[in-house]
Structure 1
Amino acid sequence: MMPPMSRRRWLGAAGALGLSACTTLPQPAGPVALEAPAIPREFRAAWVATVANIDWPSRKGLSTAEQQAEVRATVALAASLGLNALILQVRTSADALYPSALEPWSEYLTGTQGQAPDPAYDPLALWIAEAHARGLELHAWFNPYRARQSAAQSPLHASHLSQSRPAWVKTYGKQLWIDPGEPEAAAHTLAVMRDVLSRYALDGLHIDDYFYPYPEKDAAGNEVDFPDEPSWQRFGLATGLNRADWRRQNVDRLVEAMFRLTREVRPGTQLGISPFGLMRPDARPPGIAGFSQFDKLYADVERWLREGWLDYLVPQLYWPRAQAAQAFGPLLQGWLALNPQGRHVWPGLFTSRINAEPTSWQPEEIVGQIDLTRQLHPASGHVHFSMAALTQNRRGIADLLRFSYPAPALPPATPWLPAPAAPALRLAWVDRQHAALLADDGSPPQRVWRWWRVQGQWRGELAGPGLFAWPADADALVASAIGRNGLEGPRQGWLR
């Protein structure tokens, strides 16, 4: 396959050469489109964490060229492994991994909060372009409440919320947190998300398991309550709710507002949430025990599923299959049973537990969890935390995943998303070997699926816009555009 070209270059080349009438080129053949099989479906993703330089950039202070090279290498590796989506952390701590008028540049780029890359570029725009060029989805991951992570070292910039709106920000343990009980703080977070949704062609908006913070303990081992007394006095008491229910209401309102925001600003964009992996105690399968995010993080995930305030859920099932109190299989089945709206449920896998330590997981645990997910919930998906484990090929996990992903797959469709139907396609030839797939209006679709027939067998591939080469051993092509909701457009066929 040829490397991606700019839309202007390959559209210009296709129009200028006008070779589509050449009789030696493949010709339209509608009936062959009926022969190709259904597209295989599975969400195969990895989180790309920027906080503390977990995944990207590999360290603070890399040059612009080095940062960009790492982006391209990461996306290329993801595509070569068979992944079809990346979930990039763009707001780690009330900061930005993109140019923003609302929050300062993240320190994890240059080493200094508020300092832009030099030479200047837009990291998020580059990630989207590189992912889309290969047919991968790019989801933007936000931390709605964390304001400073414990490993942060840079001085806080004057535009950071802790400096500009200190009443919203609380010290809790070794970190700073935006108080979920402050309505103006929630409005600011939504404004940040609106800004990104309006400017970038995102496939998903994503948040993880940080709502109210995980409990801190004092020297005596007692839990320290989150210091939200001012917002409780000003806003909570008037609701008539107890404090725990008021806190849950604060989080519920943000989740619902995020869902409605995605529908308003960029229809067709998915909202994804990745909570802690255990459901509330009264909704658990028999034998499951442990931490309650409902009671401690004030996250009523079960309600969000009931209400349909999300498009996909990625519960962090970060335990081995044999760990009875948090067993992977029963937990996955439990979450599926709490899903009356039929939203996507894809487990988060703790792939980074594969490391150099004596307590490391074996790669076979992750492969086994993928296999079990396919058995319990066929044509669904999973997400790896995080990309670093695959980039470093820890204990050969990347090599093993090539066997787990023997052929490309398309993420499952999300038919409830409001999105235009995918268009029919035509071939625009640039020379006797290379072509582009275009809609009738001449525009390239973001994603296409191509089936090649080689010696009577069909070989599929997921691709972005751009030129491609007709393989020498293929005698037929069947292609379709993929809409923003993942539904397949009309198939077209050509014979050589």
Structure 2
Amino acid sequence: MYLKILSLLSMCLVLSACSLLSKNETTYTEKQLLGTIYQPQVAREFRAAWVATVANINWPTEPGLAVTEQKRQAIQILDKLQQHNFNTVIFQVRPQADSFYQSSREPWSYYLTGEQGRAPAPFYDPLQFWIEQAHKRGLKIHAWFNPYRAHHPDGGPVSEHSVVTRMPDQVVKLKNSTYWFLPTDQDVVAHTLNTLTELVKNYDLDGIHYDDYFYPYPSYNEGEDFPDALQYQAYVKAGGELTVADWRREAVNQFVQRLYARVKETKPHVLVGISPFGIYRPNNPDSIRGMDQYEKLYADAKLWLIEGWLDYLTPQLYWPINQYAQSYPLLVNWWQTQNTKQRHLWPGINALRSFDTAGVDEVVNQIMINRGFLASPGTVFWNVAALDGSRLMSDALAKGVFQHQALIPQTPWIDMPAVEPFKVSYERSANYIELSWQHANEPQVTQSLVYFKYGDDWHYQLYANNKHTLKVATEKEQQALTTIKVIAVDRLGNQSDAVQLEF
């Protein structure tokens, strides 16, 4: 009996020690996640999150909500992005060849009003609302579209307004009830290019963005080949010599190249981003295994990056760091070695994997890998719902890895006019400096960057373009204010010379 009791006591002590160790380890990890980052100069990092409208994943939460509720939800999302020091929202505006904006070419989205082709009532333009509210908060906004998806199985009935009805010869139905444009059809190319040109021309966008749905994933057609045999036979009969795979890939390549050129002809400052599947091909690099997007989706993302037919690439690297066959750091490094034109490489990560300590730590570690590996760092979250995942996730972002605001990295291959400095004035009282600034060309300026020096320490703050005055304390933590610098910033993150005030 004594030995049994002793054995039980020993077991309890071991379990207690393990429990205490586990608790201490968790506390230590959380402490590390909320550690101080010293940032005397403004951070440069693309911090974005996808906001998906297809199937009402993120916004609006269901079709047909009242306009007031749609706006409330949108503002809630944008406020959270601002509070967590993100600087960009990637907002899905064309989920199934229908629109979340006023288009002359495609109908209002089913996911918005519950009936494809029906406008919001009372009328408002959702994209315009998102643009205004994002810019008001100092956020960039990129319009995200799907170039080839014509109708989603969860997208309501095929309406009379749908491209499926209006362009029946250019659309095929897959076995999972998705309808898909024929990417090789020149009427499809013209329609999509014209639709997107109208979008860029009519809205004050900071970027456009399209994702990995080029040709559909094999599961969409239950593993059977994409149903374009008749079109390929017509191509061969007309003298075409490419294999069917090369013919498909060439159609996608030409679209990517032409869209980039069209956007730059329309508004050169609008960034063009693509987020392909994260693995280019198995064995790239050698230890990587997974789906071959080159062969299965007919997407040659490596070529697009090498040719510079985009401003940023966001490979969807949704795997953890230590998943050897799809290793996150190995894939980040491989994509960077292909980036011979030094375009932006801003990986997409799965921020929804889990919201416990291990899941949050994984997200933070991937962000830190991007900072260490990439010349112009950045990360895109799949998706914005991660900000609500847990208190730890929220704190690890706002008080940890994103504790300082960041400008987007500069884009030197896009020529922009030089930014002139602000005209700055101030009035001094015993405890405060009343600071004000104006710019001769207000539309050029999207943000103000203000530095403060207390003692030997520099701090900074970014403000949206609707901020022109500031009350600055002359003392902070028993350190006297000695210097203020005010800098104008344009929409691509280019800075003016600083106007410096000494006290």
Q: Please give the range of the TM-score, normalised by the shorter of the 2 chains.
A: 0.7 to 0.9
- Partner of 1:247, secondary structure, is helix
User: CA 1:291–1:491 in 2, change beyond 3 Å: closer, same or farther?
Assistant: same
Distance in 1 (CA, whole Å) between partners of 2:443 and 2:140 is 19
How many Å apart are 1:473 and its aligned residue? Answer: 4.3
Distance in 1 (CA, whole Å) between partners of 2:287 and 2:442 is 57
| Structure 2 residue 65 is the aligned partner of structure 1 residue 62 | yes
- Whichever residue aligns with residue 244 of structure 1, its letter is A
Residue of structure 2 aligned with 1:370, choices 367, 372, 376: 367
**Superposition pairs of residues 63-462 of structure 1, within 5 angstroms:** 63-152=66-155, 154-174=156-176, 175-216=178-219, 223-235=223-235, 238-281=239-282, 284-354=284-354, 362-377=359-374, 379-390=376-387, 392-394=388-390, 396-402=392-398, 403-427=400-424, 437-441=437-441, 443=443, 445-462=445-462
- Partner of 1:280, secondary structure, is coil
How many Å apart are 1:455 and its aligned residue? Answer: 4.4
| Structure 2 residue 487 is the aligned partner of structure 1 residue 484 | no
Unaligned runs of 5+ in 2: 1-38, 476-480
Q: Is the 8 A contact 1:436 1:465 kept in 2?
A: no
How many Å apart are 1:435 and its aligned residue? Answer: 6.0
How many Å apart are 1:243 and its aligned residue? Answer: 0.5
User: In structure 1, what is the equivalent of residue 463 of structure 2?
Assistant: 463
Larger radius of gyration: 2
Q: Is the 8 A contact 1:419 1:484 kept in 2?
A: no
- Partner of 2:198, secondary structure, is helix
Q: Is the 8 A contact 1:181 1:235 kept in 2?
A: no
User: CA 1:466–1:241 in 2, change beyond 3 Å: closer, same or farther?
Assistant: same
How many Å apart are 1:253 and its aligned residue? Answer: 0.6
Moved more, 484-493 or 105-114: 484-493
User: CA 1:184–1:92 in 2, change beyond 3 Å: closer, same or farther?
Assistant: same
Q: Is the 8 A contact 1:421 1:483 kept in 2?
A: no
Q: Is the 8 A contact 1:140 1:202 kept in 2?
A: yes
How many Å apart are 1:462 and its aligned residue? Answer: 2.2
Distance in 2 (CA, whole Å) between partners of 1:45 and 1:280 is 26
How many Å apart are 1:264 and its aligned residue? Answer: 0.5
- Partner of 2:138, secondary structure, is coil
Distance in 2 (CA, whole Å) between partners of 1:382 and 1:172 is 33
Distance in 2 (CA, whole Å) between partners of 1:367 and 1:336 is 20
- Whichever residue aligns with residue 374 of structure 2, its letter is H
User: CA 1:484–1:99 in 2, change beyond 3 Å: closer, same or farther?
Assistant: same
User: In structure 2, what is the equivalent of residue 12 of structure 1?
Assistant: none
Distance in 2 (CA, whole Å) between partners of 1:57 and 1:123 is 10
- Partner of 2:92, secondary structure, is strand
How many Å apart are 1:217 and its aligned residue? Answer: 7.2
Post-superposition CA distance 1:237-275 (Å, at most 9, x none): 533101000000000011001110111001111110000
Distance in 1 (CA, whole Å) between partners of 2:231 and 2:484 is 61
Distance in 1 (CA, whole Å) between partners of 2:100 and 2:434 is 37
Q: Is the 8 A contact 2:333 2:373 kept in 1?
A: yes
Moved more, 136-145 or 416-425: 416-425
Distance in 2 (CA, whole Å) between partners of 1:394 and 1:343 is 34
Moved more, 229-238 or 284-293: 229-238
- Whichever residue aligns with residue 279 of structure 1, its letter is Y
- Whichever residue aligns with residue 339 of structure 1, its letter is N
How many Å apart are 1:375 and its aligned residue? Answer: 2.4
User: CA 1:146–1:355 in 2, change beyond 3 Å: closer, same or farther?
Assistant: farther
- Whichever residue aligns with residue 374 of structure 1, its letter is R
How many Å apart are 1:73 and its aligned residue? Answer: 1.5
Moved more, 365-374 or 186-195: 365-374
- Whichever residue aligns with residue 457 of structure 1, its letter is D
How many Å apart are 1:126 and its aligned residue? Answer: 1.2
Distance in 1 (CA, whole Å) between partners of 2:427 and 2:99 is 40
- Partner of 2:44, secondary structure, is coil
How many Å apart are 1:147 and its aligned residue? Answer: 1.0
Structure showing greater relative contact order (alpha-carbon pairs closer than 8 Å, 6 or more residues apart): 1
Distance in 1 (CA, whole Å) between partners of 2:109 and 2:82 is 27
Q: Is the 8 A contact 2:257 2:309 kept in 1?
A: yes
Q: Is the 8 A contact 2:434 2:472 kept in 1?
A: no
- Whichever residue aligns with residue 501 of structure 2, its letter is W
How many Å apart are 1:329 and its aligned residue? Answer: 0.6
Moved more, 423-432 or 231-240: 423-432
How many Å apart are 1:423 and its aligned residue? Answer: 2.5
Q: Is the 8 A contact 2:294 2:300 kept in 1?
A: yes
Identity %: 38
Distance in 1 (CA, whole Å) between partners of 2:494 and 2:332 is 25
Q: Is the 8 A contact 1:362 1:395 kept in 2?
A: no
Q: Is the 8 A contact 1:43 1:381 kept in 2?
A: yes
- Whichever residue aligns with residue 323 of structure 1, its letter is Q
How many Å apart are 1:457 and its aligned residue? Answer: 2.3
